[in-house]
Amino acid sequence: MCGIVGCILKDDEAAPVLLECVKKLEYRGYDSVGIATPSSKINIRKDKGKISEAEKNVKLSDLPGNMGIAHVRWATHGIPTQKNAHPHTDCNGKIAVVHNGIIENYKELKNNLESEGHIFKSDTDTEVIPHLIEKFMDQGFDLEIAVRKTLDMINGSYALAVISTDEPGKIVGVRKESPMIVGKGDGDYFLASDVPAILKHTNNIIYLEDGEMVILDADGVTVKNVLGEIIEKEIHIIEWTPDMAEKGGFDHFMIKEIHEQPDAVRDTLMESSEIEKIVNNLGGIERICFVACGTSYHASLIGKYLFESLMGLPTDVILASEFQYSSKAMDEKTLVIFISQSGETADTLKALRTAKKRSETLVIVNVVGSTATREAKHVVFTRAGPEIGVAATKTYVSQLTCVYLLAAHMSKRMDLVEELHKIPKFMVEVLDNEDYIHRIAKKYKDAQDFFFIGRGFSYPTALEGALKLKEITYIHGEGYAAGELKHGPLALIDDGVPVVAVVAPGNIHDKTLSNVEEVRARGAHVISVGSSDDEILKSESKDMMVMDSEIDELISPIPYIVPLQLLAYYISVEKGIDPDKPKNLAKCVTVE
């Protein structure tokens, strides 16, 4: 979940460019940052904290040379400190390494290396890598072979970039179970954890596969397979533009991305015919199983309600991290649908690799070229564009749009596709009401606990609202099926506790209202999300975030999440938290 970059530039100093690129990867981790360039020695600038904080203490871009490597860290082994920040070096400061992933056998390797006299400076697992490379280079191997020999010794997952003063002008990159892409500009060459980091410099992208190695030097880019043979790789032209990954006048990426949701839904709806083709190729599916994590899991839960209500197809939803323990019923008649914004989530990829041995697999994913797109049988793209804020917003509504399109085509409910086209308008109406939601946020920003309740299609919306709140405001927020409250959680409802009730019109409306009554009777402050013509709900609520009365219950999960995203965003801002970089979290979780 760290971010790595490397570059060799024709005419420019590398460090300022590396700093600018690594800032684009900060969503992957912000515990520390570091840059290294080679000259007669390895020059390093690094410090703990977010890049903006580190820059106050260390002149990160004040390094010589036209090539180098850089890193932002999400700590796994060793607390966030300067000494644990990457790049890490060997004993003599001649080799530098940046790493995303985990080296599982680092303890044993470290003990052996220490007994051979290597001196370690950090508590990280990564540091064994430069020491192993040093050992092999001391035995006379060149950098590339020394890296290969090192890979033979380490277990775990990695994307690595390595430089050495003995072979200045060269960067060696490798990947195994952690993403790495290569950018081929006009005389400028890059490697990075993902595309937005280097998009300003080139949109000619090569996707590395597990086990592949890339060598960057002034002559260009060479990719080799596990045997060390040169291989031809396809260059993909990426359509995303650099300003899609900028804030564009908004204070944070998250609020920009919330505002991009009407377009994200519109663009994703254009995938309808692709989805129809996939559906036409699916034969004899008798059961659906969704697998995902976090927000993508909530999109999957909506899928369950949808597939079961439209087609009566038995549908399971399994958290990717639990898949190994609960997927025994899958067979060749099961379509396993993976949902992942990044396409790189380790838990999801592991489940995908297990599922594809016995079932048909389909992935709904936002990042073109990501690992999941290469491993699943069928791929459906969400057209949300790059999402930088750690909190998933526009990718969630795009995922839902794909789930609805899949269900519509499988059930031949073309009227549902028509309904989906109305959603952008409903979202714009909520966004126009943003100031009112900001005022509600100010009122409740000091609450200790929040509860979110909903039934049926509104239950996953309640869960997602609670997740958004806790991840960017650090307020304890729990989502419950409204009917479950009386089976335990009601004991926690006291005077003034905010309860957000998601009450879409339709079948579940009246029953949810009874649950609203129950919490009100115990003193809760009800903040509701409901139809503008729902006078009863209005009278039961302290505050109400109103939705267009034309929204049908079936499609309500897509527009109804928008006010909850805005509520979490504005509470975060009011509390002085940076919603784009919530503590302890990273956008792309590439460790299990």
What are the residues binding ligand M6R (CB under 6 A)? 293-296, 340-342, 345, 348, 390-392, 471, 589
Q: Is the dihedral of CA 35, 36, 37, 43 positive or negative?
A: positive
The amino acid that residue 448 corresponds to is Q
Q: In residues, how long is the chain?
A: 592
Q: Which two tokens stand for residue 262?
A: 């009407």
7 is catalytic: no
**For residue 585, how many other CB atoms are within 10 A of its CB?**
17
Q: Which is nearer to ligand M6R, 50 or 522 (CB)?
A: 50
CB of 532 to ligand M6R, least distance (A): 28
**Catalytic annotation, pick one of 135, 581, 587, 588:** 587
Q: Which is nearer to ligand M6R, 298 or 509 (CB)?
A: 298
β-pairing, 543-547 vs 525-531, is parallel
Long-range contacts of 307-310 (CB under 8 A, 24+ apart): 307/407, 307/410, 309/554, 310/407, 310/410, 310/411, 310/413, 310/416
CB of 399 to ligand M6R, least distance (A): 8
Q: Which is nearer to ligand M6R, 469 or 504 (CB)?
A: 469
CB-based contacts of 250, cutoff 8 Å, min separation 6:
256, 259
Query: What is the Cα–Cα distance from 274 to 263, expressed in whole angstroms?
Result: 19
91 is catalytic: no
Yes or no: say if 290 and 317 are a contact pair by the CB < 8 Å rule.
Answer: yes
CB of 108 to ligand M6R, least distance (A): 30
Coil vs helix vs strand at 285: coil
CB of 348 to ligand M6R, least distance (A): 5
Chain-centroid distance, C-alpha 511: 35
CB of 73 to ligand M6R, least distance (A): 18
Rounded to 5 degrees, what angle do the CA atoms 403, 409, 412 make?
Answer: 135
β-pairing, 3-8 vs 67-73, is antiparallel
**Catalytic annotation, pick one of 2, 21, 293, 402:** 2
Q: Which is nearer to ligand M6R, 37 or 461 (CB)?
A: 461
Q: For residue 547, list its beta bridge partners.
A: 531
Q: Which two tokens stand for residue 555?
A: 């499609």
Query: What is the Cα–Cα distance from 7 to 462, expressed in whole angstroms?
Result: 44
Q: Which strands, in side-by-side order, build the sheet including 543-547?
A: 476-481, 449-454, 498-503, 525-531, 543-547
Coil vs helix vs strand at 90: coil
CB of 391 to ligand M6R, least distance (A): 4
CB of 341 to ligand M6R, least distance (A): 4
Q: Which is nearer to ligand M6R, 307 or 338 (CB)?
A: 338
Q: Which two tokens stand for residue 519?
A: 């919490």
Q: Which is nearer to ligand M6R, 179 or 456 (CB)?
A: 179
Q: Which two tokens stand for residue 204?
A: 């000619």
Closest of 351, 384, 355, 380 to residue 365, by C-alpha? 380
Q: Which is nearer to ligand M6R, 353 or 486 (CB)?
A: 353
CB of 89 to ligand M6R, least distance (A): 32
Q: Which is nearer to ligand M6R, 96 or 589 (CB)?
A: 589
**Catalytic machinery residues:** 2, 587
